[in-house]
Structure 1
Amino acid sequence: MSDQCVFCEIVAGKVPHAKVFEDDMTYAFMDINPASDGHLLVVPKRHSKDLLEIPADDLTAVTLTAQRIAKTAIKELGADGVNLLNCCGADAWQTVFHFHLHVVPRYVDKAKDRLVLPWQPGVSGYADTITALADQLSPALD
């Protein structure tokens, strides 16, 4: 637990929040700035700054909890789909530096869904650039 982390404070029950779920390793609560109806966050109980720092067992637990909640959002809230979103680093829009997954229920009814894409899917990139980046990453993963 980090002394100055609002999500650690939420897990400890020191900050008001709307709890959704808790197990031994994870904690889920409603996002106070929701992109859609039912938007919530799943965090590991143990503090990890971001995706690069979180231990594999905590990442697995958070992901499985997010999947469980996503299924429930579709069934109970009538969501038409779900986005899982993680932001890693300030330049990737991370604002709270405790690893978290956003579970964002998606709806055809835009009165329930305010999330819009920051890029345009279906617009092709440059094949040479894509190949060069794959060639750079692949050997580093072996």
Structure 2
Amino acid sequence: MDECVFCRMVAGEIPVVKVYEDGAVLAFLDIGPVSDGHTVVIPKAHCTNAHECEPETLAKVGPCLGRIAGAVARAMNADGYNILCNNGRAAGQVVEHLHFHIIPRKAGDGVFRQWPAYKYEEGRISEIAEKIRKTLM
């Protein structure tokens, strides 16, 4: 994936400020952070979205993600943190390589003030659940 900026980071062609690296995972500080310590965690193997990744790839990222999130939170003396993964342009994904943002948070920091939740109309929740169950493979 010559055109993928994250693959180029993995290859060492683009410098990053690494916080963690092993054979399958790379974590580095985001150059456009939401808060101090904002870290990006990527699988070294290229895949675009979570549902397109090999299960083995996701299995290698998962344990690292928790470990790195805990380290970021402790290092930044955070009150909490968000782990975000945008899949597809409509969801805000800018780099088409699976990645997870770890965003350290402080109480009252004003970041992500309100989740845009709503209530399902009567019966709609069951319809949607059935549609999802039918498409599981």
Give the TM-score taking structure 2 as reference length. Answer: 0.89
Counterpart for residue 79 of structure 2: 80
Query: How many residues were matched structurally?
Result: 137
The answer to whether 1:140 aligns with 2:135 is yes
Measure, in 1, the Cα distance between the counterparts of 2:8 and 2:27.
13
Counterpart for residue 30 of structure 1: 29
Letter in 2 for 1:119: W
Measure, in 1, the Cα distance between the counterparts of 2:90 and 2:113.
17
Counterpart for residue 45 of structure 1: 44
SS at match of 1:52: helix
In the TM superposition, residue 117 of structure 1 has moved relative to its aligned partner by 4.9
Percent identical residues: 36
- Matched-pair contact (CA < 8 Å) for 1:62–1:101: no
Structure-2 change in CA distance of 1:108 and 1:117 (3 Å): closer
RMSD of aligned C-alpha atoms?
1.9
Letter in 1 for 2:131: Q
Q: Which moved more, 1:19-28 or 1:30-39?
A: 30-39
- Matched-pair contact (CA < 8 Å) for 1:83–1:103: yes
Q: Which runs of 4+ in 1 moved over 6 A?
A: none
Structure-2 change in CA distance of 1:141 and 1:50 (3 Å): closer
SS at match of 1:95: coil
